[in-house]
């Protein structure tokens, strides 16, 4: 399988002496990255990114590491309807990547996909994980009257994975971006150890990468 973990970055916000981990992001241009807007909204104040956790698929990640070099990020485009945000990296950064951006139109039910991200960020853990999964369904979600294309991935997704890339194994292309788990609109929800039990199901949503492609063009 192709390995893209050397291109998936961690997003965080500096809050005084602390750094709060937020979510994942990935390059879509020489100096531009994509993430889910809800990860960074509503501002890029004190928004930073860390270099990818590992450079090779066989690398170990040091879970005892608690300090990292951070780099400022700037929001340059945002789409609140589709939950997409484009960030600009510092001028001395330059990303090189081989994948192309396509979209969910090219996916079929049962297709294998690989999901990259940092699933345990809400607990302060910066560990990249790669999940091998399949497309369970393709859905249109209406937001303010706009129909937005999503793929439903047959894997439970965690908040830190929001903004992470989803790759189509058949083509090697970046087909979608993680936006989160389906949460029904229910009153009286409770949280157990920071987890909403209604999100404990084996599916997650990823928005079509075509919207990212349109924004960077």
Q: What pLDDT digit, counting tens, does each position of 3-29 carry? A: 999 999 999 999 988 899 999 999 999
Asked, for residue 95, whether it belongs to a domain, the answer is no
Distance (Å, rounded) from C-alpha 27 to C-alpha 187?
38
Report the pLDDT value the prediction gives residue 189, as an integer from 0 to 100: 58
Contacts of 74 (CB under 8 A, 6+ apart): 44, 47, 87, 88
Q: Residues 70, 157: one domain?
A: no
Asked, for residue 96, whether it belongs to a domain, the answer is no
Neighbours of 166 (CB within 10 A): 28
Among 41, 62, 88, the domain boundary falls at 88
Instruction: State the total domains in the chain.
Output: 2
pTM, two decimal places: 0.91
Q: Residues 114, 205: one domain?
A: yes
Residues 29, 78 contacting (CB under 8 angstroms): no
pLDDT digits (tens, 9 = 90+) for 148-191: 999 999 998 988 999 999 999 999 999 999 999 876 655 555 55
CATH number at residue 35: 2.40.10.10
Domain carrying residue 116: 104-216
Report the pLDDT value the prediction gives residue 49, as an integer from 0 to 100: 97
Neighbours of 43 (CB within 10 A): 9
């Amino acid at each position: 399988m192709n390995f893209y973990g050397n291109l998936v970055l961690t997003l965080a916000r500096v809050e005084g002496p602390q750094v709060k981990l937020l979510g994942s992001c990935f390059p879509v241009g020489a100096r531009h990255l994509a993430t889910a807007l809800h990860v960074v909204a509503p501002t890029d104040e004190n928004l930073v990114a860390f270099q990818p956790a590992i450079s090779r698929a066989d690398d170990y990640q040091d879970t005892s590491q608690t300090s990292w070099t951070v780099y400022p990020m700037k929001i340059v485009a945002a789409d609140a309807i589709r939950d997409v945000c484009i960030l600009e990296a510092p001028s001395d950064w330059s990303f090189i990547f081989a994948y192309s951006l396509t979209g969910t139109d090219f996916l079929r039910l049962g297709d294998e996909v690989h999901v990259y991200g940092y699933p345990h960020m809400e607990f302060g853990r910066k560990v990249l994980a790669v999940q091998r999964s399949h497309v369970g369904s393709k859905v249109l979600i209406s937001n303010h009257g706009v129909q937005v294309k999503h793929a439903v991935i047959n894997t439970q997704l965690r908040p830190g994975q929001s903004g992470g890339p989803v790759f189509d194994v058949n083509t090697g292309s970046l087909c979608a971006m993680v936006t989160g788990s389906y949460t029904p609109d229910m009153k009286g929800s409770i949280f157990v150890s920071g987890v909403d039990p209604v999100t404990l199901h084996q599916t997650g949503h990823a928005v079509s990468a075509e919207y990212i492609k349109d924004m960077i063009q």
